Amino acid sequence: MYGHLPLFDGGYKMSTLLQLLFSGLEIGSIYALATLGIMLIFRTSSVTNFAQGIIGMFGGFVAAAFIMGAYNLTIIMVDNNITLPQNERWIVVFVLAFLLWYISNLVIKHTTLNKWWKLFLPIGIGVVISMVIYFILPAIWDTVARQLIIANSLADTAFISIVIGSDLTETVIKVFTVPDSSRMIFTYVIATLVLLMLGQTLHKKKFEAWKAYGISGGIGFVYILIQVIIGNNIWSVTLLALTTAIIVGLLIDYFVIRRAQKVNPLAKQIITMGIVIVFLGITPMLFEKVLVGADPISIPKFFPSGAINIAGASLSINSLFNIIVGLIILAFLFWFLQKTKWGLAVRVTASNPQTARMMGVPVKLVTLGSWAIAAMLATLAAIMYAPNVGILTPGYMTSIQVIAFVACIFGGFQTFHGPVLASYILAVVRNLLIFYGATILNFFLIRVQPDFGSIWGEQILYILILVLVIFRPYGLIGKKIVKKV
Amino acid sequence: MEQSKLVLKTKVTTLLKSPYIQYGLFAVLLSILPMLQEIGILKSSEITILGSVMVYSIAALGLNLLLGYSGLASLGTAGFMGLAAYTTAYFVQDLGLPYIVAFIVSIIIPLAIGIIVGFISLRIEGMYLAIGTLIVAEILLKSFTQFSDITGGGIGKPMGYPNIAILGQLTKNQTFTLVAIVLVIFMILTYNIVRGRTGRALMAMRGSESAAQAMGINILKYRLITFGFATIFAAAAGVMWISFLPRIYPNDWGLTVSLNILAIIVIGGLKSIWGTLLGSFIVIGVPNLILKNIPIIGNIPGIPNIFTGLMIVLVIMYYPYGLIYIGHDVKKWYRYIKNYIQKLTNKKNNIDEVGK
């Protein structure tokens, strides 16, 4: 009944162990990215971010939608068989565009700029505006075109042609329906006009308008080049998803977290749970096209094939890439936190926001920045994790979220490096428990079935961590917080 | 004659102010709803939604004991509900035991786990505790998926409406009444817990643990009692869920349900029994009963979630005590405006008199 036991089956082979270590490290780097995001937000704005996973999910869905060709916004494609639009999506898009414009104006009005922000803010605003112009406005054109064609097909043509003459009608319909190239020109003309208008507004605020103008135009041009030359592939889509993540992070901090400073600490976390529910609603709304479509939603790997052999264990290029990217980003962020002036600002804010503000640290900008970075980290983790899941659902990052929290508790909330270390440990130990669970128990003469590990491994890991929490409530590397009565 | 009328009126108002009478009236009101369905005023689907509103209310009352009255956050509610639901289904469907026995057993099993969580809560607090309970819920959720022999896995586990010894096989509407009765019993239970010694101890602990300890309150005991009660509430909600709704799946017991329950008490009002019911109606009832029937908005997928999420964020930011206090505030504003107008008219009168 108990079959072969891996212990006597050569289960301790070096190659198997290495294999488990590699996959552990790959998943571990995904966990670590998510965990570091949670830690950044926790330390700078004292919020336990329950929305980290869902922000990542949103980014992942943006990537998936573009890579599956549901939205191909730079070169607008109107289907031959047009049906009535299911909803008024363009209203949402329009409101979003307006909000972005409003925010950029507010940022300009309310920030006293030092040397660096004079350089970086135009670039940031430029990115945002160019996103609006090159990705969202075309979506509106797309919908308008659909409406016109529908109007046409609904025999309104007769009426329109009586009113404005048949030639003009045809021209209008042509402009909206003709294939790619001329529509792109049309979009470009409108985009340039909007940019010009914006440049004027910025100039009035004594701002270096030409920089924003130039850079946003440039970025938009680069986006279009990327789209035209290499199309919707995983790299360009990742770039797009990361940009979206920045915007999402900024919006959340600016509109919600910053305004909730006086709310009691427990309620603050519940706000992030509210954000989770909002995103669970927004996702099916924006990505209805993908969710309803016949193909399952998925994101491919960065490197679809190829593997290298290390001491009998095979390590796919994609895993290697994920491990290295994770390590590089973590190394960069730790260097940034420890060695740069802005990193110092983050650490100061983390230790005491009030004092930091008094010392002249721009606390608001620091929290804004950490939300943007955390959202980017979450999205990167989501895109890296997606091939492991296969078919994506709006809840696919929940497990990562839970494990990231476990890592935070395990590593202790007081340091940045504790949770990151803990997430690597968790991933490797989880793999080992799943594979060797039965063997270990058999070693202690407890007879269990060989598939014990794969069924119970994860639960046992969680129980172990709960036990650890009872004995060391502040985690592996945490310090005890002295409470004042 | 006049005086006796007045006495009667005051007697009626004092009687109506007694919470037991209010809860009794509420029970009567709820048991009228199935009759309305039989006449044809309400649809059968609306009865289902109102039933799930009540099921959610039971669980939310339990969480309100934890978060509202004692300040302990928990995200494990859904896990305990699921455990109770599966236990009931297993005992009734697979073992063929009577419903009442299954009910009792399915409350005792989660209670044991709930008390263990209570022990954990002595060591960690605040959001750490929420994450700890989230881990417990995750362990339970994983187990539901793994034990597909008992839980039916992705196919789901059916049970059918309960068959109670004296009453015989219940119909859907009778089960609705059963859920209503259980809800009112638990409302009365909550009222008594909160008004009694336990409730005072909990509120003292919420204010300051050290001060409470200095006053001679045994923290271990009351933490365990709170978690025990919260788990009993969640378990009863789970049993009612499987009794009233046709089929349950492992994914029903994820983080989303826990978040919904949290949303209910935050939106409705912490530390308020009627607030919990109001919140439950807003979170579960309004999107399904009202929002889906609005012409354009109703067709957009995801609107219920956006509504709930925005409600949470906005209520916490701008109305932190919950929507149940809105009546109170409206009264205050009314009084304020009335006084203001009176002052204005008085001034005018004074001026007139001076003029004379």
Q: What is the pLDDT of residues B8-34, one digit of tens each?
A: 888 888 877 888 888 888 888 888 888
pLDDT of residue A166: 39
Three-class secondary structure of residue A174 per DSSP: helix
- pLDDT category of residue A169 using cuts at 50, 70 and 90: very low
A86 and chain B in contact, CB less than 8 A: yes
Dihedral angle, C-alpha A60, A65, A69, A70, nearest 10 °: 180
- Alpha helix ranges (H) inside chain B: 2-17, 19-39, 44-63, 70, 77-89, 99-121, 127-146, 148-151, 172-195, 197-207, 209-214, 219-244, 255-268, 273-280, 286-289, 303-318, 326-355
- Alpha helix ranges (H) inside A165-254: 166-177, 180-204, 209-230, 234-252
**Which residue would you say has higher pLDDT here, B130 or A229?**
B130
Residues 113-142 (B) with a CB less than 8 A from some CB of A = 119-120, 123-124, 126-128, 130-132, 134-136, 138-139, 142
CA-based nearest distance B76→chain A, Å:
12
A-to-B residue pairs, Cβ atoms closer than 8 angstroms: 141
User: Cβ-count burial of A346 within 10 angstroms (0-12 exposed, 13-18 middle, 19+ buried)?
Assistant: buried
Closest chain A CA to residue B313? A271
What are the backbone dihedrals phi and psi of residue A308, each rounded to the nearest 5 degrees, phi first?
-115, 155
Q: How far is CA A157 from the centre of its chain?
A: 45
Q: Which residues pair with B157 in a beta bridge?
A: B248
- pLDDT category of residue B119 using cuts at 50, 70 and 90: confident
Q: If you search the block for the tokens 């917080």, which residue do you land on?
A: A481
Which tokens in the block code for residue B169?
């096989």
pLDDT of residue A129: 60
CA-based nearest distance B316→chain A, Å:
7
Contact B320 A264 (CB under 8 A): yes
**Which residue would you say has higher pLDDT here, B274 or B209?**
B274
Contact B131 A48 (CB under 8 A): yes
Using alpha carbons, select from A87, A145, A137, A433 the residue that is nearest to residue A289. Answer: A87
**Which residue would you say has higher pLDDT here, A145 or B194?**
B194
Amino acid of residue B15: L
Contact B130 A459 (CB under 8 A): no
Report the C-alpha gap between A47 and A50 in whole angstroms. Answer: 9
Give chain A positions within 8 Å (CB) of B124.
409, 469, 473
pLDDT of residue A165: 39
Give chain B positions within 8 Å (CB) of A88.
296, 300
pLDDT of residue A118: 54
From A259, A277, A455, residue closest to B312, measured CB to CB: A277
Contact A271 B124 (CB under 8 A): no
Three-class secondary structure of residue A309 per DSSP: strand
**ipTM for the predicted complex:** 0.82
Give chain A positions within 8 Å (CB) of B134.
402, 405
Which tokens in the block code for residue B60?
């939310």
Report the C-alpha gap between A136 and A463 in whole angstroms. Answer: 47
Mutation to test the A interface, candidates B67, B150, B282, B305, most A Cβ within 10 Å: B305
Does the pLDDT value for residue B112 go beyond 80? yes
Q: Average of pLDDT values for A100-107?
A: 59
List pLDDT tens digits, range A374-396: 999 999 999 999 998 888 888 88
| A266: enclosing H helix or E strand | helix A265-286
Report the C-alpha gap between A141 and A147 in whole angstroms. Answer: 10
Contact A284 B301 (CB under 8 A): yes
CA-based nearest distance B139→chain A, Å:
5
Q: Average of pLDDT values for A67-80?
A: 48
From B120, B128, B302, residue closest to A283, measured CB to CB: B302
Give me the DSSP letters along A17-67: HHHHHHHHHHHHHHHHHHHHHHHHHHHHH----TTHHHHHHHHHHHHHHHH
Report the C-alpha gap between B131 and A403 in whole angstroms. Answer: 10
Contact A45, A338 (CB under 8 A): no
Q: If you search the block for the tokens 């670590």, which residue do you land on?
A: A32
- Quick one: angle between helices B303-318 and A265-286, nearest 10? 160
pLDDT of residue A9: 47
pLDDT of residue B10: 82
List pLDDT tens digits, range B130-173: 888 888 998 998 888 888 888 887 788 888 888 887 777 888 88
From B132, B139, B317, residue closest to A263, measured CB to CB: B317
Q: Which residues pair with A310 in a beta bridge?
A: A313
Residues 276-315 (B) with a CB less than 8 A from some CB of A = 296, 299-313
pLDDT of residue B68: 85
List pLDDT tens digits, range A59-70: 999 888 877 766
B256 and chain A in contact, CB less than 8 A: yes
Q: Is the sign of the CA dihedral B296, B299, B304, B307 positive or negative? A: negative
Three-class secondary structure of residue A217 per DSSP: helix
Specify whether the backbone of B254 is left (phi greater than 0), alpha (psi in -120 to 50) or beta: beta
- Angle in degrees, CA A70, A72, A75, rounded to 5: 150
From A256, A285, A409, residue closest to B301, measured CB to CB: A285
Q: Average of pLDDT values for A240-257?
A: 88
- Quick one: angle between helices A180-204 and A166-177, nearest 10? 80
A85 and chain B in contact, CB less than 8 A: no
List pLDDT tens digits, range A127-162: 666 566 555 555 555 555 555 444 444 433 444 334
- Quick one: angle between helices A363-389 and A398-411, nearest 10? 120
A100 and chain B in contact, CB less than 8 A: no
pLDDT of residue A164: 40
Lowest mean pLDDT among A284-288, A377-381, A408-412, B223-227: A284-288
pLDDT of residue A79: 38
**Other CB atoms within 10 A of residue A72 CB:** 17
pLDDT of residue A59: 92
Contact A270 B262 (CB under 8 A): yes
pLDDT of residue A424: 94
Does the pLDDT value for residue A175 go beyond 50? no
Report the C-alpha gap between B102 and B159 in whole angstroms. Answer: 12
A92 and chain B in contact, CB less than 8 A: no
Report the C-alpha gap between B53 and B125 in whole angstroms. Answer: 30
Which tokens in the block code for residue A70?
């549901």
Q: Average of pLDDT values for B36-52?
A: 86
Three-class secondary structure of residue A69 per DSSP: coil
Does the pLDDT value for residue A329 go beyond 90? yes
Contact A356, A348 (CB under 8 A): yes
B215 and chain A in contact, CB less than 8 A: no
Q: Average of pLDDT values for A318-342?
A: 90
- What is the C-alpha R_g of chain B? 23
B320 and chain A in contact, CB less than 8 A: yes
Give chain B positions within 8 Å (CB) of A86.
299
B149 and chain A in contact, CB less than 8 A: no
Give chain B positions within 8 Å (CB) of A291.
301
Closest chain A CA to residue B299? A87
pLDDT of residue A373: 92
Mutation to test the B interface, candidates A273, A449, A467, most B Cβ within 10 Å: A273
Contact A408 B131 (CB under 8 A): yes
Lowest mean pLDDT among B199-213, B291-305, B326-340: B291-305
Pairing assessment for the beta strands B247-248 and B157-158 based on DSSP bridges: antiparallel
* Half-sphere exposure (Cβ direction) of B138: Cα atoms closer than 13 Å: 22
Lowest mean pLDDT among A242-246, A453-457, B223-227: A453-457
Lowest mean pLDDT among A102-116, A299-313, B239-253: A102-116
From B132, B143, B306, residue closest to A459, measured CB to CB: B143
- Quick one: angle between helices A398-411 and B127-146, nearest 10? 130
- What contacts A39, CB < 8 A, 6 or more positions away? A408, A413, A416, A419, A420
Mutation to test the A interface, candidates B67, B121, B128, most A Cβ within 10 Å: B128
A405 and chain B in contact, CB less than 8 A: yes
Specify whether the backbone of B168 is left (phi greater than 0), alpha (psi in -120 to 50) or beta: left
Using alpha carbons, select from B254, B308, B274, B282 the residue that is nearest to residue B77. Answer: B254
**Which residue would you say has higher pLDDT here, A127 or B297?**
B297
Long-range contacts of B216-220 (CB under 8 A, 24+ apart): B219/B122, B220/B122
- pLDDT category of residue B105 using cuts at 50, 70 and 90: very high
B73 and chain A in contact, CB less than 8 A: yes
Q: How far is CA A145 from the centre of its chain?
A: 31
Q: How far is CA A63 from the centre of its chain?
A: 9
